Amino acid sequence: SQTIHQWPATLVQPVGSPLSLECTVEGTSNPNLYWYRQAAGRGLQLLFYSVGIGQISSEVPQNLSASRPQDRQFILSSKKLLLSDSGFYLCAWSSRGGNSPLHFGNGTRLTVT
């Protein structure tokens, strides 16, 4: 069966520090991979998605970047965090095709102080 791992679960970082959140998927190959952000009590905002190694689509220009160095690995990064980067970050994967739902990781709660 497929599983998705996302870490860390919680992170507190000072303003101006770098960020690296990692997500890996097991049990499937060539998945679509996604990073979403959820502000407190709000909906999900798509940040990045990838349909293949090295292929990244950015939905919202901002202080973050994403990379996919391996088929089942998706990394969210920042060189210098801003206070506004605080939030709940969710990684997800799906198979190809519109009828495939997204399967989410457990999320990372990021607090920038």
Partner 1 sequence: AQTVTQSQPEMSVQEAETVTLSCTYDTSESDYYLFWYKQPPSRQMILVIRQEAYKQQNATENRFSVNFQKAAKSFSLKISDSQLGDAAMYFCAYRGSGNTPLVFGKGTRLSVIA
Q: By the criterion CB under 8 A, which residues form the site for partner 1? A: 32, 34, 36, 38, 41-44, 46, 49, 51, 59, 88, 90, 92, 96-99, 101-104, 106-107
Q: Would you call 3 helix, strand, or coil by DSSP?
A: strand
CB neighbours of residue 105 within 10 Å: 22
CB of 21 to partner 1, least distance (A): 15
Q: Which is nearer to partner 1, 14 or 99 (CB)?
A: 99
CA 33/CA 31 separation, integer angstroms: 6
Computed over its alpha carbons, how large is the radius of gyration of the chain? 13
CB of 80 to partner 1, least distance (A): 26
CB of 81 to partner 1, least distance (A): 21
